[in-house]
């Protein structure tokens, strides 16, 4: 994570310096020089570390390592869709959607409490953790150069999640499905390295303590696109997200400390 963050910082710095060195885009530039709409379809190779805690009426529950204690897959491959709509050369809306839900049946080797239920050693537990991610962000390009731009972003990182644990004798303990719209702010930019290669990077952060939510989020991305022809490109990227949030809402009270890093392979179409 530290290495990835360092590389992101160096890449963003390089992007800024390279953009600043280019001549300013002329005022007479035509919006037709830019694609209005773009969509990317790809596969996301994830590596995850997840800890969750669901409190009950009697007190705090145990912090459960989803991969270590419950055996959920640490590595997985999911389909991911990203896209954006550009109003003009300085304003655009970005969106992403993908599903990181997992399930597993495992005999546990350590006792823990989930909600008000205590699961003993050797209990056979079927666990399901649903997590869908929706991202929406507006970008204003305050720095526009001939080969790239650097912009400020503001938007929502929307995490919809729920969890359930089932055991034959103890029954089922489920959490309510919770949708957490987390406001994020950051930077986004790109630079054309050549006629074929484009470097892209973004970084968004969030920290809040308001009513039922308390937590932080860091979302970082770096990647390269290779232009196949005028309206299509192949891309590769790295995305790292750290999410630590506590929620007290209706029948749900708990904490989620999740991290996922992953490589992204995609094909990008411009219109």
Tell me the CA distances in angstroms from 30 to 22, 25, 88, 91, one per residue in order: 18, 10, 9, 14
pLDDT of residue 176: 67
Q: Are 130 and 158 in contact (CB under 8 A)?
A: no
Contacts of 146 (CB under 8 A, 6+ apart): 22, 23, 24, 25
Candidates 163, 165, 167, 164; CA nearest to 124 is 167
- Greatest CA separation found in the chain? 73
pLDDT digits (tens, 9 = 90+) for 182-200: 889 999 999 999 999 999 9
- Helix and strand numbers, DSSP H then E, in the chain: 1, 15
pLDDT digits (tens, 9 = 90+) for 52-76: 888 877 778 889 999 999 999 999 9
Burial class (CB in 10 A: 0-12, 13-18, 19+), 4: middle
pLDDT of residue 265: 97
pTM of the model: 0.82
pLDDT of residue 110: 92
pLDDT of residue 92: 96
The three state secondary structure string of 56-119 is: ECCECCCCEECCCCCCCCCEEEEEEEEEEEEEECCEEEEEEEEECCEEEEEECCCCEEEECEEE
Domain edges within the chain: 2-270
> Alpha-carbon distance 79 to 38, whole Å?
17
Burial 83-114 (b: 16+ CB within 10 A, else e): bbebeeebebebebebebebeeeeebeeebbb
> Alpha-carbon distance 235 to 242, whole Å?
23
Candidates 246, 250, 240, 186; CA nearest to 216 is 246
pLDDT digits (tens, 9 = 90+) for 85-98: 999 889 999 999 99
**Model confidence at 228, in pLDDT bands (50, 70, 90)?**
very high
pLDDT of residue 147: 92
Asked if pLDDT for residue 216 goes beyond 60, the answer is yes
**Model confidence at 250, in pLDDT bands (50, 70, 90)?**
low
Question: Which carries the bigger pLDDT value, residue 116 or residue 188?
Answer: 188
Asked if pLDDT for residue 5 goes beyond 50, the answer is no
Highest mean predicted confidence (pLDDT) among 18-27, 242-251, 256-265:
256-265
> Alpha-carbon distance 10 to 17, whole Å?
11
> Alpha-carbon distance 158 to 167, whole Å?
31
pLDDT of residue 206: 86
Pick the CATH number of 2-270 from 3.40.50.720, 3.30.70.920, 1.10.760.10, 2.40.128.90: 2.40.128.90
**Model confidence at 253, in pLDDT bands (50, 70, 90)?**
confident
CA angle, corner 165, sides to 161 and 170, nearest 5? 150
> Alpha-carbon distance 219 to 239, whole Å?
7
């Amino acid at each position: 994570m530290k290495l990835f963050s360092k590389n992101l910082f160096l890449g963003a710095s390089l992007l800024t310096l390279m953009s600043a060195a280019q001549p300013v885009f002329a005022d007479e530039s035509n919006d037709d020089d830019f694609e209005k709409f773009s969509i990317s379809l790809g596969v996301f190779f994830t590596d995850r570390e997840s800890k969750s805690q669901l409190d009950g009426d009697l007190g705090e529950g145990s912090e459960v390592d989803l991969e270590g204690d419950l055996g959920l897959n640490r590595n997985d491959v999911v389909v991911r869709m990203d896209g954006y709509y550009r109003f003009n050369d300085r304003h655009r809306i970005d969106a992403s959607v993908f599903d990181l839900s997992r399930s597993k049946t495992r005999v546990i080797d350590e006792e823990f409490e989930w909600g008000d239920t205590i699961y003993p050693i050797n209990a056979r537990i079927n666990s399901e953790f649903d997590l869908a991610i929706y991202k929406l962000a507006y970008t204003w390009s305050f720095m526009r150069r001939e080969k790239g731009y650097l912009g400020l972003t503001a938007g929502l990182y929307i995490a919809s999640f729920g969890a359930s644990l089932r055991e034959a004798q103890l029954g089922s303990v489920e959490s309510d499905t919770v949708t957490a719209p987390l406001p994020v702010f950051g930077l986004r930019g790109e630079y054309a390295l050549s006629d074929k290669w484009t470097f892209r990077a973004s970084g968004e952060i969030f920290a809040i303590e308001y009513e039922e939510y308390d937590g932080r989020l860091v979302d970082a991305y770096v990647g390269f696109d290779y232009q196949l022809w005028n309206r299509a490109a192949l891309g590769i990227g790295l995305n790292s997200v750290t999410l630590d949030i506590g929620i007290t809402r209706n029948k749900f009270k708990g904490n989620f400390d999740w991290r996922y890093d992953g490589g992204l392979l995609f094909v990008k179409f411009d219109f």
